[in-house]
Amino acid sequence: MSTPKPNFIVDSMLGNLAKKLRVLGYDSKYFSSIEDDKLILIAKNEKRMIITKDEQLTRKAEKQEIGFVLIRGSDEVEQIMQINAKINLGTFVIDTNNSRCILCNGNLQPVEKYRIIGKIPEGILEREKKFWMCDSCKKIYWEGTHFEKLQEFVAKLNDRRN
């Protein structure tokens, strides 16, 4: 039996990292602005690990016995490796069936083409075969050119692990 994936709450200064964690399939709550005490409360109530650059926040988390990773630097590959050093995240993959919405952290569900006609550009509808929709905010996703960049990012992560 595999261990369940950790859930995170990502501090407001690490929005891009929250998006990358969501793409990798990690439930990662993120608020562009949140008070430390509220963040601590959510982490404690929802058993989430705090990801932050704020040392003061890590001291508060430690007192409350909440797991955290103190992030250093701005390189996203390095930031994820810092999380991986604290809790082994395993092999990194982008699986669109496990990825989460980068906007709201919702779950992505496969959606039939005919259901999204008129909701995305015609060219994309013709060119792409598979689509996913966020079950919360209804954003539509497909494996466009950005997907190749994400695959390269994941390859860098896995190279760093080995």
Render pLDDT for 53-77 as a digit per residue (tens, 0 to 9). 999 999 999 999 999 999 999 999 9
pLDDT band for 116, please (50, 70, 90 cuts). Answer: very high
Q: Which domains does the chain have, with CATH numbers?
A: 8-86 (3.40.50), 97-142 (no CATH)
Q: What is the mean pLDDT of residues 29-44?
A: 95
Query: pLDDT per residue over 73-93, tens digit each?
Result: 999 999 999 999 999 898 888
Per the prediction, the chain carries an average pLDDT of 93
Q: Which amino acid is at 97?
A: N
Q: How far apart are CA 114 and CA 72, in angstroms?
A: 45
- Residues 82, 5 contacting (CB under 8 angstroms): no
Query: pLDDT per residue over 6-30, tens digit each?
Result: 999 999 999 999 999 999 999 999 9
Name the one residue in this structure whose structure tokens are 């404690």. 44
Which pairing describes strands 49-52 and 68-70: parallel, antiparallel, or unpaired?
A: parallel
pLDDT band for 153, please (50, 70, 90 cuts). Answer: very high
Task: Name the DSSP letter for residue 107.
Answer: B
Whether pLDDT at 1 is above 50 = no
Identify the pLDDT of residue 2: 54
Query: Where does 54-141 have alpha helices with state H?
Result: 55-63, 76-86, 122-127
Identify the pLDDT of residue 53: 96
Identify the pLDDT of residue 145: 81
Q: How far apart are CA 114 and CA 137, in angstroms?
A: 19
